[in-house]
Structure 1
Amino acid sequence: MTENLSCLPWSARPGARAWRCAPAPAEVRDFHSALPDYAATPLTELPALAQDLGVGRVFVKDESHRLGLPAFKALGASWAIHRALAERAANGHGSGPATLVTATDGNHGRAVARMARLLGQHAHVFVPQGVHPRAVTAIVEEQAKVTEVQGPYDEAVRQAARAAAAPDAILVQDTAWPGYEQIPAWIVEGYSTLCAEIDEQLTAAGVAEGPDLVSVPVGVGSLAQAVVTHYRSRLSERAPALLSVEPESAACVLESLALGALVSVTTGKTSMAGLNCGTPSSIAWPYLYGGLDAAVAIPDADSARAAVDLAGLGVSSGPCGAAALAGLRTALNGVGGDDRRRALGLGPSSVVVLLSSEGTAANPL
């Protein structure tokens, strides 16, 4: 059930903090820790934002440099490709290189192409209309074949799925649909490392009980699924509020939550290119509906202002990453903010974590 607290694009679900699920596998963190370029990304405390938001402490998880790339996506791509290639070899199909096929708004495709290059595989990446040419160039520089699609992200996904039917091709897509769920589930598992790092970093900062709220940018919902899994699988610990943030022009999760069922929306143009998705992932949807406390949609201008503010505080954040701040700021400080603050259980001593999912280098718009 959802409730609308003002005319702001917003939906809240009472009772989400009581929803529970199984945890991510522990071996994912061990896998990432063994990679040559692995290091935990910073969790930066920003007192100026705490004052702005009217809470006790604000931390930003800075994903501007993750495994040599300017976004968090390499966590999911590396684990999923590792699992997919191991399964391929176990089934007797590992004699030659595979072609890893995916559709992307930029960051995921570059991560898949990077892993393919490092592992001696091929990559074929489908890019929807509206992705900046420099993002396409970055994928090409990873030695991937790129097909530019004259249509939105959902059409690029459809074309990638068709191309992956070829012999020795593996679809490595970060969204799921009925009949295609295993690899997207591995991608979600890969993102759990980010959450494990936050636990350790908050403890080191003297926050023993964890955050009171986590704000996460949402495209198809895979990162949000990982966040929900992490915080809703803890039976004995205080559960934080979880907030998803989307562009107003591509608010598929917000619309689905408001209707109580997974739906697709027609997307428009947005500077938050990595969030410009029209359909939630089928495996993410039960987690989002069960475990998200609230969802909000924001205009591009709010994300742009948040990115400038984060830069002024020393955090490199592209439009998608800055959406986490923009969405929470709009929810708490806008008309009806007091009601939304109560719905999220926030007070003057609350601890907030913002997931800045990309750096400025990831989105050259």
Structure 2
Amino acid sequence: MFLPNQHPDYRKPLDPADAEILGVTAAKEVERYLSYRHNHVPTPLHALPGLAAELGVSTVHIKDEGFRLGLGSFKALGGSYAVIRLVLEEASRRLKRAVDVAELHTTEVHAIASGMTVACATDGNHGRSVAQGAQLVGARATIFVHSGVSDERVAAIARFGARMIRVEGTYDDSVAEAARVATEKGWTVVSDTSWPGYERIPGLVMQGYTAMVREALRQLPTPPTHVFVQAGVGGVAAAVAGHLALAFGDLRPTFIVVDPARAACLYESARAGHPVKIEHGEPTVMAMLECYEPSLVAWRILSRVADAFMTVDERDAIAVMNRLARPVGDDPTIVAGESGGAGLAGLIRAAAAPEIQAALHLSEMSRVFVINTEGATDPVRYAELVGMRPDAVATTRGADA
């Protein structure tokens, strides 16, 4: 399914608050915070010339977030950044002076952090980031997971010292339960989705993702003409689209939001013209994108700066995982988790459909940018779908110009 953006706000400027969160100045500040993380290095950017030739476009570049901060996902940039910001803000309030990230590991800051508990709901990756951020600053973390989250992903979060709570139902049920319990206990919810009256912290999470875009723009030989990014609640898609719109203005690349067909809350919101909660159906293999209601902040941004919305099927996602693990020609091998290659799957589907090609002006001159948002965050599931263990896939490391 494919739908050009027909919202009345399409191409209008971003809301000033969103522009402040996602602008160049804010992104530079995120990068400054990252410079205080001992394991921070830019993630690789790979050229896929073989795939580009097959699809009939000039270039395809993929940013590989499977190497991000030891967590294997772009989410490492968001939750932990928000936790650090919140701890430093609380320290500033209590110490009655501005406390900078340079003081993150001081005794004073850790003493304050030790009395704080952060909480969130997660499909896996965001919870790991929040838990890692809490461990880094000495705070406590309680992470809520729904019944569909694998034991492997739960264990990956728990290793950061987080308390884990299982919730029956879907991701959206776990979001509601996390908010309820946190309010009751006086904890701070660090969610990557937003709802009425709760926008600032999800905005900080999205702000963390802008560092990934700045890295990519430095690594790319020329700016992209088209960007395909997958969406769950829409946070990463909105962060990437919003930052590109602010950085390039009228010269920004064409931006396409890619949803799983079984959890297409942004596609259905675009069709309705307003945020909608869709019915929970059969689970999607793209587990990190299995969300049934969009983030309000993300929707507000995407309704203005996304050019189109589309969906991909289960077989599309699995095919991309296998294609990246067994590339042709000079393309590097890349480990992409079940949700990691959904944006690329959108490109492949678009390139195979003449009507979508025409609508997006996708041609042999197009320079396409996509993001592998996660590596094999569930190695057992990856091996089932690809037929190889992730450690057996010889991943090319480093950036290709």
TM-score by length of 2: 0.83
Aligned-partner SS, 2:66: coil
Q: Deviations over 1:297-323 (max 9, x none)?
A: 122111001011011231110111111
Flag structure 1 segments of 5+ consecutive residues without an equivalent: 1-8
- Give the 3-state SS of the residue equivalent to 1:164 in structure 2: helix
8 Å CA contact 1:225, 1:287 repeated in 2: yes
SS at match of 1:157: helix
| Corresponding position: 1:351 with 2:367 | yes
**Rounded Cα–Cα distance in structure 2 between residues aligned with 1:14 and 1:52:** 31
1:99 aligns with 2:117: yes
User: Which residue identity is paired with 2:238?
Assistant: Q
Correspondence 1:257 to 2:270: yes
Comparing 159-168 with 48-57, which one deviates more in the overlay?
159-168
**1:215 aligns to 2:228 (yes or no):** yes
Alpha-carbon distance in structure 1 between the residues aligned to 2:346 and 2:338: 12
Instruction: Check whether the contact 1:13–1:292 (CA below 8 A) recurs between aligned residues.
Output: yes
* 1:332 counterpart (326, 338, 351): 351
Report the 3-state secondary structure (helix = DSSP H, G, I; strand = E; otherwise coil) of the residue aligned with 1:280: coil
Any idea what the Cα deviations from partners look like across 1:95-125, whole Å, max 9, x if unmatched?
A: 7431110000000001111121222111111
Shift of 1:221: 0.4
In structure 1, how many angstroms separate the alpha carbons of the residues matched to 2:67 and 2:119?
Answer: 24
Aligned match for 1:185, one of 184, 198, 203? 203
CA 1:288–1:237 in structure 2 vs 1: closer, same or farther (change >3 Å)? Answer: closer
Quick check: which one's helix share is greater? Answer: 2
Q: CA deviation at 1:228?
A: 1.4
Contact preservation (8 Å) 1:98, 1:168: no
Backbone CA RMSD of aligned residues: 1.8
**How many residue pairs get matched?**
349
**Aligned pair in 2 of structure 1 residues 42, 83: CA closer, same or farther (>3 Å)?**
same
- State yes or no: 1:145 paired with 2:163: yes
Q: Which amino acid aligns with 2:266?
A: V
Runs of 4+ with >6 A deviation = 14-17
Matched, 1:118 2:132: no
Partner in structure 1 of residue 284 of structure 2:
270
Structure 2 counterpart of 1:34? 36
> Post-superposition shift, 1:168?
5.1
* 2:97 is aligned with 1:81: no
Cα pair 1:63 1:71 within 8 Å, conserved: yes
Residue identity (%):
37
Deviation at 1:266, TM superposition (A): 1.6
Closer, same or farther: CA 214–362 of 1 in aligned 2, 3 Å: farther
C-alpha distance 237-36 of structure 1, shift in aligned 2 (>3 A) = farther
Closer, same or farther: CA 95–294 of 1 in aligned 2, 3 Å: closer
Q: Is the Cα–Cα contact under 8 Å of residues 336 and 374 in structure 2 kept in the other structure?
A: yes
TM superposition shift of 1:50? 0.3
Out of 4, 7, 14, the position equivalent to 1:12 is 4
Task: Find out whether 1:316 has 2:329 as its counterpart.
Answer: no
CA contact (8 A) 1:104 1:126 kept: yes
1:222-275: CA deviations, max 9, x gaps? 001111111111355621111111111110000000111110112330111110
TM-score for the superposition, normalised by structure 1 = 0.91
One-letter amino acid of the structure 2 residue matched with residue 112 of structure 1: V
